[in-house]
């Protein structure tokens, strides 16, 4: 007779626990004296906060990264960022593949759930492509950053470039340049362009990468039909991403144009640079070229919206995702137009996809609302600053209105939990919707009409 284990973990639970274990191991390493630039152990709550913000690729920090951590500590942080960007399951799967270990059905299900894929076929090839694509883009980004950082910092500029490239691609927003993020490089076109490209490439999602490469291979035959031949997922992700970046940049330019605390005294070109970067970085990247606390209230609220939406699925960005919002809006317009089907780009969206979109947004809003109320209860900060902090933590962005460093113990704990839930909560909910329990009988609960709206 086969003996069953006293307990077994579902794929969802495995993913949740893998992130938690990575946070605990990382915080333990960062709490060691060798991780501190002063060779004295950093308080554990700050080590835990830093490990969480790194593995959750958020970017909020309670202590300055550049001056608090030694080279060893910075290496630990960078490894945590890379693990968080790719995913713990992806890293472990990559190690198994490199050691020529067989990827079993259970491992394949973990990979499928971790990336929210619809099929179990070709997963090993998919993982190999993810690693190859990630390291190639990060390496190229680092080389480009060296153009600026090596002349300025000497040999240390190589390490700064590598750290910055990985952090930007993983949408982590953590840097080892200064305590004011990238404000010193607000007008540097190389850093602006390279960082923005890395953020967008990481945030648009691996599925879109492969789909675009597939279409570009047949560019000569397809010519102007490239976009038409993309999958529906890629069309939605690219369209929403492009629209949000462009619209966000234009609105930031208009709203901040005469703000003396931000861009009023800049040239038109510099104003455009800063506005465009602000629009890109709010897509869960977390770097800042202007102090966020100096933004007008209108710009801050716009940033809240962009942060909450975030990047695209199956990438390194956070937020509720572009495709999710597109599906939800299309569903709303379908209801208002009295249409039964939800249609995007002449394709009908399944009801299951609409339900998942509603579930992800609902879960994210619950996490956001709860953390905002709790943080408001333990701090006397301005309401907008608190909302900025909690949205940034929920969507794993990393932008702050100078509140993170002044958080008390309870505030730090609340943001730690929020970052963790923001990184795994919506994902776990989507995964849970993939699992259907078998209904052993055909009896269903009766249906009854209700009033909505």
Write the DSSP assignment of 256-325 as a string of letters: HTT-TTTTTTS-HHHHHHHHHHHHHHTTTT---SS-GGGS-HHHHHHHHHHHHH-S-SSSS--SS-HHHH
**Between residues 12 and 57, the one the model is more confident about:** 57
Asked if residue 451 is part of any domain, the answer here is: no
Q: What is the pLDDT of residue 206?
A: 85
- The number of domains in the chain is 1
Mean per-residue pLDDT, 31-54:
95
Distance CA 323, CA 98 (A): 33
**CA angle at 30 for the pair 64 and 282, rounded to the nearest 5°:** 45
- Helix spans in 154-267 (H): 156-169, 189-204, 206-217, 219-222, 232-256
Q: What is the pLDDT of residue 119?
A: 60
Mean per-residue pLDDT, 383-395:
95
In this structure, the dihedral spanned by the alpha carbons of residues 203, 204, 210 and 213, taken in order and rounded to 10 degrees, is -120
Q: Which of 81-95, 109-123, 274-288 tops mean pLDDT?
A: 274-288
pLDDT confidence tier of residue 324, bands split at 50, 70 and 90: very high
Residues 6+ apart with CB under 8 A from 212: 230, 234
In the chain, % of residues over pLDDT 70: 84
pLDDT confidence tier of residue 111, bands split at 50, 70 and 90: low
Mean per-residue pLDDT, 271-293:
93
Cβ proximity of 298 and 313 under 8 Å: no
Q: Is the pLDDT at 2 greater than 50, yes or no?
A: no
For the stretch 390-449, pLDDT in tens is 999 999 999 999 999 999 999 999 999 999 998 886 556 555 445 444 444 556 778 777
Cβ proximity of 401 and 388 under 8 Å: yes
Distance CA 93, CA 98 (A): 9
Residue of 132, 272, 246, 137 lying closest to 195 (CA atoms) = 137
Mean per-residue pLDDT, 204-211:
86
List 344's β-bridge partners, or say none. Answer: 347
Distance CA 385, CA 264 (A): 22
Q: What is the pLDDT of residue 216?
A: 81
Q: Is the pLDDT at 114 greater than 60, yes or no?
A: no
374: left (phi over 0), alpha (psi -120 to 50) or beta: alpha
Q: Is the pLDDT at 85 greater than 80, yes or no?
A: yes
Mean per-residue pLDDT, 159-187:
93
Mean per-residue pLDDT, 299-313:
94
Mean per-residue pLDDT, 118-138:
79
Q: Is the pLDDT at 6 greater than 60, yes or no?
A: no
Q: What is the pLDDT of residue 381?
A: 92
Q: What is the pLDDT of residue 94?
A: 66
For helices 88-98 and 123-153, give the axis angle rounded to 10 degrees.
100
Structure-token match 């960007």, residue found: 85
Q: What is the pLDDT of residue 110?
A: 59
Concatenating the DSSP letter of every residue in 410-450 gives: HHHHHHHHHHHHHHHHHHHHHHHHH-----SS---PPP---
344, containing H or E segment: strand 342-344
Q: Is the pLDDT at 170 greater than 80, yes or no?
A: yes
pLDDT confidence tier of residue 376, bands split at 50, 70 and 90: very high
The pLDDT mean for the chain works out to: 86
List 446's β-bridge partners, or say none. Answer: none
**CA angle at 410 for the pair 407 and 411, rounded to the nearest 5°:** 35
pLDDT confidence tier of residue 90, bands split at 50, 70 and 90: confident
Read off the DSSP letter of residue 36. B
Asked if residue 449 is part of any domain, the answer here is: no
> What is the extent of the structural domain holding 60?
11-434
Cβ contacts of 25-32, under 8 Å, gap ≥ 24: 26/51, 26/54, 26/55, 26/76, 26/80, 27/51, 27/52, 29/76, 30/69, 30/73, 30/76, 30/77
Q: What is the pLDDT of residue 1?
A: 41
Distance CA 20, CA 80 (A): 12
Q: What is the pLDDT of residue 101?
A: 63
Per-residue tokens: 115: 């990336």
Cβ proximity of 328 and 312 under 8 Å: no
pLDDT confidence tier of residue 120, bands split at 50, 70 and 90: low
Cβ proximity of 50 and 36 under 8 Å: no
Per-residue tokens: 294: 């100096």
Cβ proximity of 429 and 12 under 8 Å: no
Between 154-158, 338-342, 446-450, the lowest mean confidence (pLDDT) is in 446-450
Asked if residue 169 is part of any domain, the answer here is: yes
Cβ burial of 288 (10 Å; 0-12, 13-18, 19+) is: buried
Q: What is the pLDDT of residue 31?
A: 96
pTM of the model: 0.88
384, containing H or E segment: helix 383-394
For helices 44-55 and 409-434, give the axis angle rounded to 10 degrees.
30
Q: What is the pLDDT of residue 91?
A: 73
Mean per-residue pLDDT, 312-336:
90
Distance CA 153, CA 156 (A): 6
Q: What is the pLDDT of residue 127?
A: 81
The CB density around residue 242, as the number of other CB atoms within 10 Å, is 13
Between 212-226, 249-263, 310-324, the lowest mean confidence (pLDDT) is in 212-226
């Amino acid at each position: 007779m086969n003996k069953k284990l006293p307990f077994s973990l579902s794929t969802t639970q495995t993913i949740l626990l893998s992130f938690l274990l990575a946070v605990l191991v990382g915080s333990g390493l960062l709490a060691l004296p060798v991780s501190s630039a002063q060779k004295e152990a950093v308080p554990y709550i700050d080590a835990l906060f830093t490990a969480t913000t790194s593995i959750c690729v958020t970017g909020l920090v309670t202590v300055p990264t550049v001056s608090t951590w030694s080279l060893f500590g910075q290496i630990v942080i960078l490894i945590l960022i890379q693990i968080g960007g790719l995913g713990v399951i992806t890293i472990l799967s990559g190690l198994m593949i490199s050691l020529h270990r067989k990827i079993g059905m259970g491992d394949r299900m973990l990979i499928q759930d971790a990336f929210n894929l619809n099929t179990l076929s070709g997963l090993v090839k998919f993982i190999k492509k993810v690693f190859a694509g990630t390291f190639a883009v990060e390496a190229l980004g680092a080389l480009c950053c060296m153009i600026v950082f090596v002349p300025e910092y000497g040999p240390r500029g190589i390490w700064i470039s590598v750290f910055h490239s990985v952090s930007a691609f993983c949408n982590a927003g953590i840097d080892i340049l200064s305590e004011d993020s990238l404000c010193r490089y607000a007008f540097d076109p190389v850093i602006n362009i390279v960082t923005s490209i890395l953020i967008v490439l990481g945030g648009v999602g691996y599925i879109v990468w492969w789909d675009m490469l597939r279409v570009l291979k047949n560019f000569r035959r397809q010519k102007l039909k490239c976009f038409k031949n993309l999958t529906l997922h890629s069309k939605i992700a690219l369209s929403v991403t492009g629209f949000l970046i462009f619209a966000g940049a234009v609105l930031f330019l208009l709203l901040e144009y005469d703000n003396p605390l931000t861009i009023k005294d800049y040239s038109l070109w510099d104003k455009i640079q800063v506005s465009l970067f602000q629009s890109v970085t709010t897509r869960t990247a977390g770097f800042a070229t202007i102090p966020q606390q100096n933004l007008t209230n209108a710009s801050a609220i716009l940033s809240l919206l962009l942060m909450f939406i975030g990047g695209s699925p199956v990438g390194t960005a956070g937020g509720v995702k572009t495709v999710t919002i597109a599906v939800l809006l299309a569903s709303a317009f379908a209801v208002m137009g009295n249409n039964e089907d939800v249609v995007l780009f002449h394709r009908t969206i399944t009801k299951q996809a609409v339900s998942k979109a509603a579930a992800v947004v609902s879960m994210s809003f619950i996490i956001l609302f709860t953390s905002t109320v709790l943080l408001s209860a333990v701090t006397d900060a301005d309401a907008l600053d608190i909302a900025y902090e909690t949205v940034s933590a929920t969507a794993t962005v990393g932008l702050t209105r100078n509140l993170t460093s002044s958080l008390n113990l309870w505030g730090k704990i609340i943001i730690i939990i929020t970052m963790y839930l923001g990184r795994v909560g919506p994902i776990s909910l989507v995964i849970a919707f993939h699992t259907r329990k078998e209904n052993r009988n055909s009896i269903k609960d009766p249906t009854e009409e209700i009033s909505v709206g």
